[in-house]
Amino acid sequence: MAADVKATMIIYLDPSVQFFNPVVKGAKDAAAQFGVDLDVQYANNDPVRQNDLIESATAAGVDGIAVAISSSDAFDESICAAVKSGIVVIGFNNDDLEGAKGNCRQAYVGMNEFASGYELGNRMIKEFGLKSGDVVFNPREIPEASFAVARGGGIEKAMKENGIKVETVRAGLDPAEAQNIMAQFLIANPGVKALFGTGSVTSTVGAGAIKDAGVKIPFGGFDLAVEIVNAVESGAMFATMDQQPYLQGYYPIAQIALAKKYGLTPTDIDTGQGAFLDKSHISSVKPLIGSFR
């Protein structure tokens, strides 16, 4: 199909983060199918750069912007300005913590982060008999990022309802550094009863951190990567919450095209429904990992 719609996709991290490979693949597939001239940009975890990218796309007069809203405050003005200029803006992967009430984006495509954290927390409590007075560890790559606040908040709610204390640290985005930080915390706190990864980095290195610390505790987390799939299959990781990143790339670009070509109103899409993957379910998604690397 001829590319008669222009769209910019803005990812808040950098190209080295494996999680976004299937996101970009989904976006490119949608662009080819619906005739979209797609430009993918990375903000490298810099809110100033991300605002600059939003403003540049707006000034260029693109038809649509797909943007990961990794902060509930930092991008409000630039996104509202884009919408007021007639650009279709779809949030993906991360949303404002207040949803549509907190940001002008016209739709959000992604996981309900808080609900997913709450579900994982409750499943871990039930599976491993976590009880009042226990302490669990929930390291967060970027604690102030909306995904960490929401997912961590869901985990904390489940724990609080059962009298369980949650400890957290900033783990960062470098896998080796995150693994070391997590292992050192576990060594210093031998009474921790469970580990919860918050994002792709902490979930990727969690099994290694537990091994480095020489402890045996249950571990659950989020997202998909080769290391995460292998950990779930081997039993080193109880389960992961898959937010289906391919769909987070595909649907925003498809909706931008449909809105511009046919006037269809963008709509929220929850890509995390039923995406709890333990050992009995992980094999069904394993073939996807290699295809997106």
CA–CA gap between residue 197 and residue 138 (Å, rounded): 6
Spell out the residues 6+ positions from residue 8 whose beta carbon is closer than 8 angstroms to its own.
38, 39, 40, 41, 53, 57, 60, 62, 64, 65, 66
Same domain, yes or no, for 248 and 232? no
What is the predicted pLDDT for the residue at 74?
94
Task: Find out whether 205 and 177 touch, Cβ atoms under 8 Å.
Answer: no
pLDDT digits (tens, 9 = 90+) for 155-164: 999 999 999 9
What is the predicted pLDDT for the residue at 1?
61
Same domain, yes or no, for 121 and 55? no
Alpha carbon distance, N-terminus to C-terminus of the chain = 26
Among 241, 264, 288, give the residue marking a domain's end: 241
- HEC sequence for the chain: CCCCEEEEEEECCCCCCCCHHHHHHHHHHHHHHHCEEEEEEECCCCHHHHHHHHHHHHHCCCCEEEECCCCCCCCHHHHHHHHHCCCEEEEECCCCCCHHHCCCCCEEEECCHHHHHHHHHHHHHHHHCCCCCCEEECCECCCCCHHHHHHHHHHHHHHHCCCCEEECCECCCCHHHHHHHHHHHHHHCCCCCEEECCCHHHHHHHHHHHHHHCCCCCEEEECCCHHHHHHHHHCCCCEEECCCHHHHHHHHHHHHHHHHHHCCCCCCEECCCCCEEECCCHHHCHHHHHHHC
CATH of the domain at 75: 3.40.50.2300
Same domain, yes or no, for 42 and 126? no
**Residue 288 domain-assigned (yes or no):** no
CA–CA gap between residue 167 and residue 122 (Å, rounded): 17
What is the predicted pLDDT for the residue at 290?
61
What is the predicted pLDDT for the residue at 64?
98
**Residue 54 domain-assigned (yes or no):** yes
Same domain, yes or no, for 106 and 248? yes
Same domain, yes or no, for 194 and 78? no
Cα 38 off chain centre by: 22
**Residue 47 domain-assigned (yes or no):** yes
**Residue 134 domain-assigned (yes or no):** yes
What is the predicted pLDDT for the residue at 291?
63
**Residue 267 domain-assigned (yes or no):** yes
Could you give the C-alpha distances from 234 to 147, 197, 230, in angstroms and in order?
27, 17, 6
DSSP strand pairing (239-241 vs 5-11):
unpaired
Same domain, yes or no, for 140 and 43? no
Same domain, yes or no, for 253 and 188? no
What is the predicted pLDDT for the residue at 250?
98
Give the structural domain span for 93. Answer: 5-111+243-274
- Counted domains in the chain: 2
What is the predicted pLDDT for the residue at 224?
86
Which residues of the chain fall below pLDDT 70?
1-2, 274, 286-293
pLDDT digits (tens, 9 = 90+) for 78-97: 999 999 999 999 999 999 99
CA–CA gap between residue 256 and residue 231 (Å, rounded): 37
